[in-house]
Structure 1
Amino acid sequence: MKTLEHFVEQQLSNGRFSFSTTMLKDVFDKSDKALKQSLYRLKAKGKIAHVRSGFYMIIPPEYSQFGMIPPDLFIDDLMKCLGKKYYVGLFSSASLQGASHQAVMQYYVITNHPPLRSVNNAKMVINFYSKKEWQRELILQRKTDAGYINISCPELTTFDLLNYGNFSLNRIATILEELYEFYNAKRLKLSVKQASTASIQRLGYLLDQVVVDNVYSEVLQQELTQRRLFPVLLSKRSSHQGKADKSWNVIINTDIESDL
């Protein structure tokens, strides 16, 4: 191995789009200062880009005009480098499963605790959320040009959308319409066990509103009979009150309009 540039080219030829500084120290007998200088030169040439401390993406010619590559190509390697369990979730997972009406300008990843600091620079944004645990059966494998990545199943994706952040309900409703055809009763029964009560109530209401011939309400209602229910606002973005939906104990404080 003569140069760092040759190492990068070899990584690409092996279908790898990233590397860590730990890998470099195993390959090259160079000082930290010499490695930093080599990394700086390759960054200046636009052949690599820094993702986070000790981790770099490799930019092949077809992506040189963008100055980055899709996170799908390096996220699995990054999580292994950090020693984190993970899955690609929320809008990113929805897009990978066919929710094509939603343009994903940011990338969303769920990891085990403790949470990671998000990556936010001029080229990309990777949002990290965390949770204590999840059922392995709710994670799907999706093939990329760099191998396989973990993504949340449709059921877990919609629960996470309702649980994390403060996202637009209209956007979530659109995704729900697109992912509903891929719903599976067994996975829904598993995911509902770990879902918050409020997210179950909201999902039940949304399913009734946007899905014709919804067949999964009973699964959600059965779980809710085992929990203590309180009225919950449909939209977390507004504190306004509205009429109550008795089926789900949801206060309707916004109108739902799917983009489809």
Structure 2
Amino acid sequence: MKIGNQTYNYLEEYIDSVRAKGRYAFTLEELKDKLEVTDKAILQSLYRLKVKNKIVQIRKGFYTILPAEYSRYGVIPSNMYLDDMMVSLKKNYYLGLISAAAIHGASHQQTMETFVITEKPALRDIKNKKLKINFLVKNEWNKEDIKKVKTEAGYINVSSPELTALDLLYYVEKLGMNRVITILKELVEVIKPSSLAKTAKNYSQIAAVQRLGYLLEYELENEKLSQVVYNTIADKKGVNIPLMPGKNKKGITNTKWRIINNINIESDL
């Protein structure tokens, strides 16, 4: 019992030191390196801290500290530990889609879900009553399109408004077209034409570029941005593609963008 209490006290001291450095997360491996006690003693002490609502296990071997101001929620915002978690997994990543859009000002779409783009092999989504982190896989992205955004616990990788817009159309099947249009209506306000031109030119999923350009022109009526997108793919477009993938391919075909309009769009705004 005495050894157990000693380990628990050491663990509390370590957590205090983590917080003093401005971090809210730690790994089991870190603890094993710091504390010269058995794995069993560490796990027992971690369990006691979880029961006392002082820490939260996010995934196997990764824990977050739960300050008093977040105790009623049972979890801290993912922005406060995501970078630590991805570093511990040795994974390149960026916060994307709805999560990135919220950071860029599309506040209407703030959600309890977190969307993270990462590299292969895929990570298992984290889902429970208090938390939902969706991991989506992408083969490649340009570092220039990723911004470092300051959080309470350091910095986090976030897709630029321009990359966010294109990704929304790349993953549109997972989000739904109405939801995507709603986000884009707010996101276009912070999209820069010069940045969009560069990002769209280097974006490897041409279908997403076509869909974004079409929506900018016909749904959002933003001629300036749609022309920027068109200039990047005017000589690249291949076969006609449906506006909404996975649906039937019946609808009026737009020859400029080679888009088959196969869906009725209704914004949530």
TM-score range, shorter chain: over 0.9
The answer to whether the aligner puts 1:178 opposite 2:186 as a matched pair is yes
Residue number in structure 2 paired with 1:238: 247
Q: Any conservation in 1 of the 2:213–2:257 contact (CA below 8 Å)?
A: yes
The corresponding residue for 2:43 is 36
Counterpart for residue 255 of structure 1: 264
Q: Does 1:103 align with 2:110?
A: yes
Rate the CA distance shift 1:212–1:240 in 2: closer, same or farther, 3 A.
closer
Displacement of 1:144 in angstroms is 0.9
- 1:160 equivalenced with 2:167 (yes/no): yes
Residue deviations 1:122-164, cap 9 Å, x none?
Answer: 2211111122221111011111110110100111111111112
- Root mean square deviation of aligned Cα: 1.7
Distance apart, 1:204 and its partner CA: 1.1
Native 8 Å contact 1:210 1:258 kept in 2: no
Answer whether contact 1:159 1:195 (CA < 8 A) is retained. Answer: no
- Name the structure 2 match of 1:90: 97
Structure 2 match to 1:75: 82
Deviation at 1:3, TM superposition (A): 1.8
Alignment pair present for 1:206 and 2:215? yes
Structure 1: gaps spanning 5 or more residues: none
* 2:79–2:156 CA contact under 8 A, matched in 1: yes
Q: Give distance in 1, aligned partners of 2:163 and 2:101.
A: 10
Percent identical across equivalent pairs?
43
Name the SS for the 1:215 alignment partner: helix
> Does the CA contact (< 8 Å) of 2:244 and 2:263 recur in 1?
yes
**Given that residues 161 and 187 in structure 2 are in contact (C-alpha distance below 8 angstroms), is that contact kept between their aligned partners in structure 1?**
yes
Q: Return the match for 1:139 from 122, 146, 158.
A: 146
**What amino acid is the match of 1:179?**
L
Moved over 6 A (4+): none
Q: Which amino acid aligns with 1:97?
A: H
2:115 aligns to what SS in structure 1?
A: strand
Q: Give the CA deviation at 1:237.
A: 4.8
Q: Distance in 1 between matches of 2:71 and 2:241?
A: 48
- 2:230 paired residue number: 221
Matched AA of 1:241: K
Displacement of 1:228 in angstroms is 4.2
Question: Is 1:194 aligned to residue 183 of structure 2?
Answer: no
The size of the alignment, in residue pairs, is 260
Q: Is the deviation greater in 215-224 or in 39-48?
A: 215-224
TM-score, length-normalised on structure 1? 0.94
Instruction: After superposition, give the CA deviation of every residue in 1:14-51 in whole Å (9 maximum; x if it has no partner).
Output: 22111001111121111111000010000111111111
Once the two structures are superposed, the pairs formed by residues 114-153 of structure 1 within 5 Å of their partners are 114-153=121-160
**Cα distance, 1:240 vs. partner?**
5.3
TM-score normalized with structure 2 length: 0.91
* Whole-Å separation in 2 of the counterparts to 1:255 and 1:36: 53
Q: Deviations over 1:42-82 (max 9, x none)?
A: 01111111111111011100111111111000000001101
